[in-house]
Amino acid sequence: MSKTRKYSENDWNKTKKEMKEILINLSKNRGLITYSELTENKMTIKFYALSSSLNKMLDEVSYEENRAKRGLLSAVVVSKATYAPGSGFYKHIKPEKRVELGDAQCWRDAVKKVHNYWISQKK
């Protein structure tokens, strides 16, 4: 078990793969999902909508997907109250871009990039 989390590495990686599949399938249809809806999906690890473990998982998903040039996949996960991502999402966006465009536009651009990438993969 990792020193930084309460789940085994195997369960964590399996859940990350499951979560990516959920978010990718959603993105192929230009969808968005709330944190609570995401946690209702069957995954190896059961997360709660406001848990730090869910936030850590979404951070890893975004980092890995963005590094692979597929965009910030967690952009499609939003708050039920605001229908926008939580504040943790924006740490993946360069500060100067946030100042230039504003958070809302940065998020819309991230969603568009993710949707367009995964829609192009359906063909």
Residue 77 forms part of a structural domain: yes
Over pLDDT 70: what percentage of the chain? 95
Q: What is the mean pLDDT of the chain?
A: 92
Residue-level pLDDT at 38: 98
pLDDT, one tens digit per residue, over 51-65 is 999 999 999 999 999
- Mean pLDDT value across residues 108-120: 97
Residue 1 forms part of a structural domain: no
Residue-level pLDDT at 101: 86
Residue 30 forms part of a structural domain: yes
pLDDT, one tens digit per residue, over 12-54 is 999 999 999 999 999 999 999 999 999 999 999 999 998 999 9
Residue 24 forms part of a structural domain: yes
pTM of the model: 0.90
Residue 3 forms part of a structural domain: no
Residue 4 forms part of a structural domain: no
- Residue 104 domain boundaries: 9-120
pLDDT surpasses 60 at 78 = yes
Residue-level pLDDT at 5: 63
Residue-level pLDDT at 79: 95
Over pLDDT 90: what percentage of the chain? 80
Q: Look at the chain and report how many structural domains it folds into.
A: 1
Angle 24-75-16 from CA coordinates, rounded to 5°: 50
Task: Specify whether the CB–CB gap between 15 and 44 falls below 8 A.
Answer: yes
